[in-house]
């Protein structure tokens, strides 16, 4: 079966992204995996910092699970039948690349936030890192 990886960082897909996912799913029989990667910083994992700032891994995981579930439901409501969800922790770009290559996805479909070159240079871009490091084809929706 062909598999499409859909990394997300919000609770709703744009209409344009939804259209592309529907096309892959319905016309070519792709299974869609909605993925969210919880950015994991070693510094924030220290138990004392977690207590001081109220950062609890379970909270992040719960929010992430809700996020991918909402998007999976949005896809199902739009007619996409074969949808799975997955939440990982780590470096988002590295985790996306590892999953795409390790589980033999045929394509990765990603949104870009439309940052200009200066903002991308300053803060980096997960999409940019995935495009340049992934052997699986990546379709970027702007």
Across all residues in the chain, what is the average pLDDT?
84
pLDDT category of residue 123 using cuts at 50, 70 and 90: very low
User: What whole-number percentage of the chain has pLDDT above 90?
Assistant: 60
Domain 3-141 classified CATH 3.40.50.620?
Answer: yes
Contacts of 60 (CB under 8 A, 6+ apart): 38, 89
For residue 35, list its beta bridge partners: 7, 86
pTM of the model: 0.85
**Residues in CB range of 67: below 8 A, 6 or more apart:** 8, 10, 11, 36
Residues 6+ apart with CB under 8 A from 77: none
Give the per-residue pLDDT at 43.
47
Q: How far apart are CA 85 and CA 42, in angstroms?
A: 25
40 or 61: whose pLDDT is higher?
Answer: 61
* pLDDT: which is higher, 113 or 52: 113
pLDDT tens readout for residues 41-94: 654 555 555 555 555 556 778 889 999 999 999 999 999 999 999 999 999 999
**What's the mean pLDDT in 10-17?**
84
């Amino acid at each position: 079966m062909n598999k499409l990886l859909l990394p997300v960082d919000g609770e709703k897909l744009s209409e344009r992204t939804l259209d592309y996912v529907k096309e892959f799913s319905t016309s070519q029989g792709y299974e869609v995996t909605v993925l969210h990667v919880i950015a994991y910083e070693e510094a924030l994992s220290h138990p004392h910092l977690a207590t001081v700032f109220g950062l609890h891994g379970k909270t992040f995981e719960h929010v992430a699970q809700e996020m991918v579930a909402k998007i999976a439901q949005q896809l199902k409501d739009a007619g996409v039948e074969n949808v799975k969800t997955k939440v990982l922790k780590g470096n988002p770009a590295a985790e996306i690349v590892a999953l795409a290559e390790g589980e033999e996805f045929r394509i990765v479909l990603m949104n870009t936030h439309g940052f200009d070159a200066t903002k991308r240079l300053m803060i980096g871009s997960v999409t940019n890192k995935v495009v340049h490091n992934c052997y699986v084809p990546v379709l970027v929706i702007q």
